[in-house]
């Protein structure tokens, strides 16, 4: 089985003081730590597990700057066979659709039975790249996948829906899957494997191989801003009847009734 996993290097902002830079279109990253996107780690692990079960090859691809090669090498250390970096610096501002087009330009020439991506990126939260890539490649896909079973050329994918519901899809390979966190337990890369990965070649593809004129974008980032501070919440106290009467009055005051 030939598998492709698309991964992304993202800043870790959960516990950081995030500030918007002078351009108004990005954040200050000087003191931020970077790592593989969370759901991509689960997508990579699922790809490795399938490779180990069915044999074959695993190629990891990232659209990023030179620093993304560190993330690709971690993927190599975990079990990927080949790595490709698409030079983000060659293609200007990227949105989800443009990123998917760049991935498609490379993947269409690669042999693949399954493609894995994370379900969402923690830096932009677009959740667009995986499903858009599937459409561009003209292949079936399942998003928010929590379980995968393969029987011959048929894959059974289980995915999350709203309200705690699960959906069971059966589709033929090749297919694309955007993976939900928690589907597995991502492994750690050993020190020896990291050292070996440091010596492996990473193929770099830029505008010389991909015609930038064929890559279009339908959106652009205007600005980033912190949410405006609104009125503070009002805590209601009293008996249930008193609180209920007060809520009813607030609703009427706001013109909602």
In a domain, 249, yes or no: no
Whether residue 251 is contained in a domain is answered as no
Mutual angle of helices 96-107 and 129-137, in 10-degree steps: 40
Lowest mean pLDDT among 139-148, 170-179, 189-198, 247-256: 247-256
The more confidently predicted of residues 257 and 173 is 173
Cβ atoms 215, 91 nearer than 8 A: yes
pLDDT at 112: 96
- Give CA–CA dist 83/58, Å, rounded: 9
Residues contacting 141, CB < 8 A, separation 6+: 130, 131, 134, 135, 175, 176, 177, 178
pLDDT per position as a tens digit, 95-117: 999 999 999 999 999 999 999 99
Q: What is the pLDDT of residues 112-144, one digit of tens each?
A: 999 999 999 998 888 999 999 999 999 999 999
pTM beyond 0.75, yes or no: yes
* Residue 233 pLDDT greater than 80, yes or no: no
Is 241 within the bounds of a domain? Answer: no
**pLDDT score, position 43:** 97
Total domains in the fold of the chain: 1
* Residue 8 counted as domain residue: yes
User: At 144, which CATH number?
Assistant: 3.40.50.620
Q: Which residues pair with 154 in a beta bridge?
A: 151, 172
Higher pLDDT: 221 or 101? It is 101
pLDDT reading at 238 higher than 80? yes
Is the residue at 221 inside a domain? Answer: no
With contact defined as beta carbons under 8 Å apart, do 1 and 54 qualify?
yes
Domain with 22 in it: 2-214
Average pLDDT, integer, range 153-173: 92
The Cα–Cα gap between 30 and 19 comes to 11
């Amino acid at each position: 089985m030939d598998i492709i996993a698309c991964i992304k290097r993202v800043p870790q902002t959960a516990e950081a003081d995030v500030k918007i830079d002078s351009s108004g279109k990005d954040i200050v990253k000087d003191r931020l730590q970077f790592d593989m996107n969370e759901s991509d780690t689960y997508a990579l692990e699922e790809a490795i597990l399938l490779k180990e079960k069915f044999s074959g090859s695993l190629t990891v691809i990232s659209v990023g700057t030179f620093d993304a090669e560190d993330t690709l090498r971690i993927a190599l250390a975990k079990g990927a066979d080949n790595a490709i970096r698409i030079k983000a610096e060659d293609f200007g501002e990227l949105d989800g659709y443009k990123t998917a087009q760049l991935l498609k330009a490379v993947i269409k020439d690669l042999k693949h039975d399954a493609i894995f991506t994370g379900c969402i990126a923690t830096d932009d939260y677009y959740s667009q790249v995986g499903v858009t890539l599937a459409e561009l490649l003209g292949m079936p896909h399942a998003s928010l996948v929590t379980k995968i079973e393969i029987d011959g050329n048929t894959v059974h994918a289980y995915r999350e829906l709203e309200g705690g519901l699960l959906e069971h899809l059966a589709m033929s390979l090749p297919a694309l899957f955007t993976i939900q966190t928690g589907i597995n337990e991502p492994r750690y890369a050993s020190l020896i494997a990291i050292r070996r990965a440091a010596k492996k070649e990473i193929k770099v593809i830029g505008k010389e191989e991909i015609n930038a004129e064929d890559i279009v974008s339908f959106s652009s980032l205007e600005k980033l801003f912190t949410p405006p501070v609104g009125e503070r919440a009002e805590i209601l106290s009293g008996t249930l009847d008193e609180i209920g009467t007060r809520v009813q009055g607030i609703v009427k005051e706001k013109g909602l009734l």
